[in-house]
Chains A and B, each alone.
Chain A
Amino acid sequence: MEQSKNFGFGEDEVMLRDTARKLFADNCSADKIHGQLAQNYDPHREIECLWDKDLWKQIGELGWTAVCVPESAGGLGMPLVAAAALVEEAGKAAFPSPLVSTFNASFVLQACGSDAANKQLEKIAGGQASTLAITNQKGSWESSDTDVTVDDGTLNGTAWFVQDAKKAETLVVAAKGEKGLGLYCIAADDANVLIQADGIIDLTRDQAHIEFKGAKAIEVAAPGDGKVALDKAMPAILSIVSADMVGTSEWLLQTTVEYANTRVQFDRQLGFFQAVKHPLVNVMLDLDRAKSLTYHAACTFDEEPDGAELAARMAKSAASDVAAFSASRAIQFHGGIGFTWECYVHIFFKRNMHNHILYGDGNYQRMKLADILIGQAA
C-alpha cells in the first residue's frame, strides 16, 4: 500500500510536461484558438469540425500518443501521470485535438490485452487518432450499456456521444453479442460507418453519433470480455478527463484573477473587494484538491490497481465540481465583457461544462463511491 511519494512524476515526466508548455505557448494562445474556432457565432450555424491538423501531426511526431502505450507495442511505457500532465497543459490551452480521445482509446485497448488490440496500439503509438464509441443514446455511463450489436464481427446499431469522432481515424466500439459485451476496432472511413456530427456547445471538440450498418470490424475483446476491459480502463479515462478540467480551470482562475487585478470600479481594483477575492480563493482551494486527487488517481492506476476506481472517481468528482465552479465564477467576475462572444472566457467555460458531464458528473461519481465505501443502499 505504499505509493511513490512524488506520484511517479519524475524527471522524464517534468521534461515532457515542459515540452508541452512550450508547444502550447508557441502555437496555442487563447487569441489564436478564438480566431480559429469562434469565427461563426450563429447558434444555428452549420456543424463544423475545426482544428489544426498540422499541429496534431507534430504532436504525433513528438510521440505524445505513445506516452502510455507499452514499449512492447512500440510505445514509451510512461506512467499515467505523464499523460495527465500533458492533458493538463492541453486543458490550459483549450487545445482542440483528439489527444484525450486517443489516450482513452489506448487505455481500453491495453486493457483488452489481445494481439489484435496490441496491433491497434502500435498504430496509436505511431500517431493515429482514435476514439471510443461506447455510449448509448440515453447517455448511460455504465460500461454494459450500448445500442450497438455484434454478430460474427459485424456491427449494427448506433453509438452516441462519441468524442472527436470527425478527427479519429479508428473507432473502438463496444457492442453486445450473444455472449455479452465485446470490443471492436474499425476504420472511421469504413463505407458501412456513418458518422453524423452533433451540434455541440463546446467549440474545442467535435462529437457525433455513429451508425454501423453491417460494418465488418476487428475483434479486440471477445463477447463477454469487453465489460472487464472497459471497467479496467475507466479509472485511467476518468483521470485523464479530470486532468483536462484541472488545466482548463487553472486557466479560468488565472485569467479571472488577472482581470480582477486590472479592472477598476468604485476607484478600486475588483480584487480588493472580498466578494470577488474570496470566491476566487475558493476556486483555488477546490482546484488544488482536484489536482492532487487527479495525480493521485493516475499514480494509483499504475501502482495500486485495486484502489484505482476509488481514487479516479474521487478525482473526477472533485474535478467536475471545480470545472463548473471555476467556469461560472470566471464569467460572473468578468462582468459585462464576460457575457460576450468576443471575450475568450466562453471557450474555456464551454470546454469545462462539456467535460464535467463526460463519463459522469460529480453526483454520479459520488453515487458510485458510496456503493464502494458505504455499500449498496438497501
Chain B
Amino acid sequence: MSEAGKTDSPEQAEFRAHCRDWLSKNHPGTPPVSLPQSALALTDDDALVWLQKWQKSAYDAGLIGCDYSKDCGGQGLTNCQAIANEEMTRAKTPFLPNIIGLGMGAPTVYFHAQDEVKQKLLPRLLSGEDIWCQGFSEPGAGSDLANQQTFAEKKGDSWVINGHKVWTSLAHYASWMIMLCRTSKEDKYNGLSYFVVPIKSALGKGVTVRPLIKLTGETGFNEVIFEDLVVEDKYRLDEVGAGWAVAMTTLAHERGAGKLVTPASGGLASAEDKSSSIGSANALIRLAKASSRNGKTAADDPVLRDQLMQLMIRQEGFRHNRRRIGVPELNDHPMRLPLQFKLVSSELGQDISHMAYKIQGAASSLYVNDPNAPAGGQWPMAYMSSFGITIAAGANEVQRNILGERVLNMAKSK
C-alpha cells in the first residue's frame, strides 16, 4: 500500500512524478530466466546480465544513487532515494543486483575515501556495472567481528594483504571488495584498517575466489583467499587504525540506520513470477485456503488461524515501524527503531516461511526438484535460506546485545 505523496517537498514531488513517469514506460518486464529470491543468491550469468541492464537503465534515469553528489555519479538531490524506492516498489520492478555495493560499499566509500577514489569507483558501483562484495567475516571472526586476522602490511607506498575471508556473497561476480584488515597486532580495535581492494582484476594475482555451498544446495557465496595481494595506499579509507570506526558506517547502513537511504527496488519481478508470492504472510493465507489439514481446509483450523494472524500483525507492525521512523516526535531514542530492522525483519521472514511447513503438511517435504512441490518448492527453500539472514550481518543474538547496550544502556556483555 502506498502512503506516498502526502508530505513531499516540491523537489520531492517533482522527482516522484519523474520516477512514476519513467517507470510506467521502462519497466523491464518479465525476466528471461528465473530469478533467485534475492541478489545474494545470484549464480546464473544470464540473470545477472539482465539485472545489471535493469540497474543501469534505472541509474541512467536518475533513480539510483540520486542523493549522492554529482561528481560521484549521483544527482546531488536531498532525501529523494526513499521516493525512488517507493516508486520502484509500487511499480514492482525487479531487485537490484549490486545490493552490497549499494547498501554498504557506496556509503562507506562516499564518507571515507579520497575524492579521486570516490569519483573513480562510485559511478560504476551505482550503475551496477561493477558488482561489489564485502570482506568482513573470517573463519575466526564472525559475531566477534573485531577479531580480524587478515593482515595488511605496509611496503613502500603500497599494502600487501594476506588472509582468508569467508561467507562472502557475490564475490564470484565482484570487481571490488570493501574489506577490514588488521594493520597492527598490538590493539584489537585500533589495530584495524579499512580498504577497498580489486577482486576480478586480481584473480590469479593474489586473489582466489572459491564457492561455498549453502545448506540449500545453492552456491552464491564464497571464500576469498588473499596471498600477497598488493593494493595502492590510496585505496585505504580514512586513517590507519581507524578501520573499526569506518566499519561502523558500513554496519549502520547495513542495518538501515545510516545517513543515506539504500537504493532498493521492489524485488518482485512480475505478477507471473511464482517466487514473487513467497515470503509474505498474505501468501500464507492463500496457501492455507488451498491446503488441507485433518480432512478440512487448513484455513479453518483455529490454531493455524491464530498463528497466521500473529504473523500478519508482525508484518503490519514492521511496516508501521518504518513509517514511525519518519516521525521523530514519536521516537524517544533515534536509534531504537533503526537498529531493530535487521533483527525484526529476518525473524519475521523466517517464521513466515516456517509457517508454510505447518500449512502444507506432507507436501512441505517436496523440494525444488520435485514437479509436485507446492509453489515449486520455494517455501522450504525460503525457510532454509532465512538462516543466512538471521546469522549474517551480526547474528541476531549480537543484534540483541547491540539494542540492549546502545538503546537501553544495559551493561556490555563482554
Chain A interface (Cβ < 8 Å from any Cβ of B): 1-7, 9, 13-14, 17, 257, 260-261, 268-269, 271-274, 276-278, 280-282, 284-285, 288-293, 295-296, 314, 317-318, 363, 366-367, 369-370, 373-375, 377-378
Cα-based distance from A272 to B297 in the complex (angstroms): 48
Cα-based distance from A337 to B7 in the complex (angstroms): 49
Q: Does B324 contact A (CB under 8 A)?
A: yes
CB atoms of A366 and B305 under 8 A apart: yes
Q: Does B323 contact A (CB under 8 A)?
A: yes
Q: Smallest distance from the beta carbon of B394 to chain A beta carbons, Å?
A: 14
CB atoms of A373 and B309 under 8 A apart: yes
CB atoms of B3 and A2 under 8 A apart: yes
Q: Does B329 contact A (CB under 8 A)?
A: yes
Within 8 A of A (CB), among B101-157: none
**Nearest 8 pairs of A and B residues by beta carbon:** A271-B410, A289-B317, A292-B320, A366-B309, A370-B305, A272-B411, A377-B300, A277-B404
Residues of A with C-beta under 8 A to B1: 1
CB atoms of B410 and A3 under 8 A apart: no
Q: CB-nearest residue of chain B relative to A14?
A: B329
Q: Mostly helix, strand, loop or mixed at chain A's interface?
A: helix
Within 8 A of A (CB), among B389-414: 397, 400-401, 403-405, 407-413
Q: Does B318 contact A (CB under 8 A)?
A: yes
Most B CB contacts (10 A, CB to CB) among A269, A272, A363 go to A272
Q: Mostly helix, strand, loop or mixed at chain B's interface?
A: helix
Contact-residue bracket for chain B: 35 or more
A sample of 15 inter-chain contacts (CB < 8 A) reads A7-B327, A272-B412, A277-B400, A277-B408, A277-B413, A280-B404, A285-B403, A292-B324, A295-B320, A295-B330, A363-B306, A369-B309, A373-B285, A374-B288, A378-B300
Q: CB-nearest residue of chain B relative to A1?
A: B1
Q: A268-B411, A278-B397 are in contact. Are A3 and B3 (CB under 8 A)?
A: yes
Extra inter-chain contacts (14) besides given A4-B3, A314-B317, CB under 8 Å: A3-B6, A272-B413, A284-B340, A284-B408, A285-B344, A288-B337, A291-B324, A292-B323, A295-B320, A366-B306, A370-B308, A373-B285, A373-B312, A378-B300
Residues of B with C-beta under 8 A to A373: 285, 308-309, 312
Residues of A with C-beta under 8 A to B337: 288
Q: Does B294 contact A (CB under 8 A)?
A: no
Cα-based distance from A292 to B330 in the complex (angstroms): 9
CB atoms of B309 and A370 under 8 A apart: yes
Among B296, B314, B321, B403, point to the contact of A281 (Cβ < 8 A): B403
